[in-house]
Amino acid sequence: MRLSVRLLLAMTGIALLALAITTRPVARANNEPAVFPIGERVAIKTPLGLRSVPIPTDNPPTRETIALGRRLYYDPQLSADGTISCASCHAPQFAFGDARKVSVGVGGKTGTRHAPTVINSAYNAFQFWDGRSPSLEDQAKGPIANPVEMAHSLDGVVNRLQTDSKYRELFKKAWGTDQITIDMVAKSIASFERTVIAGNSPFDRFYFGHDKKALSPAAQRGFRLFTDPKKANCAVCHTIGKEDALFTDNKFHNLGIGADTRGNLNDPGRYAISKQDADMGCFKTPTLRNLANRAPFMHYGSFPTVKDALAHYIGGGNMNDHLDKAIHALDFLTFDERDDLLQFLDSLNGPLPENIGPPPDLAMSPSPDKKAGY
């Protein structure tokens, strides 16, 4: 009897230890205790071409946290002067990216990089072009406190939300308390972002759904060029898996974007984080899904069209000391082949889920600054 109690205790200990190891809490401000959503966990539906969305153990999505995160995402109250929301730079009409070359934040201040799309960021191994953030939860706190983005402080946001009775009610429903913390804010936004996913494109229906008619003959030829190591070889970085296709290897490469004619780079990219010489001018491979509405392209917003981006590869990138070995001139591709590649890229546009636009009650509430929209 005694023995079995001991055994039970030992087993509980091992189970708790395993839980402690697998649970990866987000960095907390002011040593606040970890927070857990109170509602029932919901499954996020994934379209053809994507695997199930990775979920951190300490932030299971619930109906309430997703809805709250959606509201926060579209709410300019998160910025210092109430004019800029996440959607100002990651707008639904631009495939959750930005039509401007580099982002513009509070007071018209410009940043130095183009805003990447939030679509499928749930699958990123790292967030930001230089991968400096490990998770969506961690990432969400960045822009709020960034002086050229939302220019607020994390405490300032919490205090402002705390005075709003509607938010107190929504946080209470989602987190079981109306004492708002920045972790609850970041985790709610992250749970909303995990619902902003796109697959089920003509390519997915062709490749994963085995519908031979889903792709035109030109796009099928483009697909073969895209994956052929002796031809365009794009898939070596823009990966297509056996069961899903993210079109990114989640690694960092130097294409010479932002380099001048002498090979001087305007942004060290991944090097600033890793301090590894090989990472100089390297940026994270972005997904190629839903390119249609998210021009301009690259970390510097260098190219206004997909065709211009392709021309960069045809030319062999911009020469500099750290240009990736996989980048070399593709001028042997015929003009027909280049067109086929563009047709293939166009086949990667898929529908977005419903219920990811601005929440109706927020869109109707009077904004302190009419210019802001959302």
Cis geometry, peptide bond prior to residue 296 (ω within 30 degrees of 0): yes
Residues from 301 through 330 that contact ligand HEC (CB under 6 A) = 306, 309-310, 313, 324, 326-327
Q: Which of 64, 75, 137, 149 binds ligand HEC (CB under 6 A)?
A: 149
Residue written as token pair 């679509």: 119
Number of residues that bind ligand HEC (CB under 6 A): 53
CA 181 vs CA 69, 204, 207: distances in Å: 13, 40, 44
Interface segment toward ligand HEC; rule CB under 6 A; list 128-136, 156-164, 176-184, 197-205: 128-136
Q: Which of 129, 203, 206, 223 binds ligand HEC (CB under 6 A)?
A: 129
CA distance 220 to 204: 12
Verify binding: residue 116, ligand HEC, rule CB under 6 A.
Answer: yes
- Using alpha carbons only, how large is the chain's radius of gyration in Å? 23
For 331, other C-beta atoms within 10 Å of its C-beta total 9
Encoded tokens for 362: 């927020």
Verify binding: residue 233, ligand HEC, rule CB under 6 A.
Answer: yes
Verify binding: residue 127, ligand HEC, rule CB under 6 A.
Answer: yes
Largest CA-CA distance found in the chain, in angstroms, rounded: 80
Rounded-to-10 torsion of CA 88, 90, 91, 93: 150
Q: Which of 91, 118, 151, 161 binds ligand HEC (CB under 6 A)?
A: 118
Smallest separation, CB 114 to ligand HEC (Å):
6
CA distance 374 to 363: 7
62 or 248, CB closer to ligand HEC? 248
Interface ranges with ligand HEC (CB under 6 A):
73, 78, 84, 86, 88-90, 103, 105, 111, 113, 115-116, 118, 121, 124, 127-130, 136, 139-140, 143-144, 149-150, 189, 232-234, 236-238, 253, 255, 257, 283, 285-286, 288, 291, 297-299, 306, 309-310, 313, 324, 326-327, 341
